[in-house]
Amino acid sequence: MASFFARFNGRNEAVAVAAPRDVSLELSGPALASALQALLSSCEEDGGIERYVEALKFKSGLFRDAFKNRGEDLTADNFTKLCMFMPTVRRRIGEYVEDDAYPALQAAFKGLFAPGDVNARIVAFESKFPTGKKFRWVRDLAAEILHNTDPELYPIMTRWVWDLKANSGVIREIWHGDNVDNIRLDVPDEYETFIKLREDLSGYLTQNGVFTDVLHYVDLLCAQVYAGYIASQGGTFLKADFAAKQDPIIFTRRLLGLDGVQAKSNRKIPASVIDGEARSVESIMRLNGSS
């Protein structure tokens, strides 16, 4: 008999998913130590990592408000505003938020929050779109919506964290072993793997003195790891999504969708937290009638 873990969502409905099967990840302690130190040092120049944690909480709050009814009340205009937080989606989603196409997208949102296996829900969501390399961003869209709406239940599962087909992502960058660059990792890019990664990174962070907001620290650490990889490639990787600046913290912000936001003081996030093209989030704060 399958085991389950459950809790209640904002609608007082039980949310249950199958307990993750055993997954083993061989992570490199030195690689993690280097990434954590780089993250703390880079964030310190911006006023401390706490500012980034607050920014992630802010972003999650917006998604939680937007999808509190599985996106049933989310307009195309408001969804488009949320896309600024999804770096690998925002340049590609255009035709799907047009008046004639958005209802189908909105219906797909509902399926993401339906009961059942998480992996199956994501696959079902992807099936609503054409297949092929040009549409691999659809997986990111599903992953971003789930994670940002409920980061406790859904770890960050975007392709830059791990993409089995491309054999690339955070997991590869922190894998323990010799000659990692020349081997393929037989690690599925499924929910269970991302849960295990979060578990391992949470344990590592706790061992290194992080006891609060651990889930947000995990996201930041993952982004820092992959930002280091992007910077090492001379800024050419994912050129369509990332600027040419070489400072890894620039890429860290962009991977997490924090590069195009102007924080609002009444949300207790200083405006200087995030650089880049600042955009007002006032209208986003009113998603679904929120003030």
In a domain, 204, yes or no: yes
pLDDT over 60 (residue 243): no
Q: How confident is the model at residue 274 (pLDDT cuts 50, 70, 90)?
A: very low
| pTM confidence score | 0.82
In a domain, 63, yes or no: yes
Residue 74: CB partners within 8 Å, gap ≥ 6?
66, 67, 106, 109, 287, 288
Q: How confident is the model at residue 120 (pLDDT cuts 50, 70, 90)?
A: very high
In a domain, 14, yes or no: no
As for how many domains the chain has, the answer is 1
Structure confidence at residue 261 (pLDDT): 56
18 phi and psi angles, rounded to 5 deg = -60, 135
Read off the pLDDT of each residue in 159-175 and give the average, rounded to a whole number: 97
Tens of pLDDT, residues 4-44: 344 444 444 444 444 556 789 999 999 999 999 999 999 98
Which residue range forms the structural domain that includes residue 75? 26-289
In a domain, 178, yes or no: yes
| Separation of alpha carbons 226 and 203, rounded Å | 20
pLDDT over 60 (residue 217): yes
| Separation of alpha carbons 198 and 204, rounded Å | 10
Secondary structure element (H or E) that encloses residue 194, with its range: helix 191-207
Higher pLDDT: 144 or 51? It is: 144
Q: Is 285 helix (H, G, I), strand (E, B) or coil?
A: helix
Secondary structure element (H or E) that encloses residue 17, with its range: strand 14-18
Read off the pLDDT of each residue in 116-141 and give the average, rounded to a whole number: 96
In a domain, 276, yes or no: yes
pLDDT, mean over the chain: 83
| Separation of alpha carbons 278 and 54, rounded Å | 17
In a domain, 247, yes or no: yes
In a domain, 239, yes or no: yes
In a domain, 21, yes or no: no
Structure confidence at residue 38 (pLDDT): 95
pLDDT over 50 (residue 279): no
Structure confidence at residue 46 (pLDDT): 79
Output DSSP code: residue 40.
H
The residue type of 90 is R
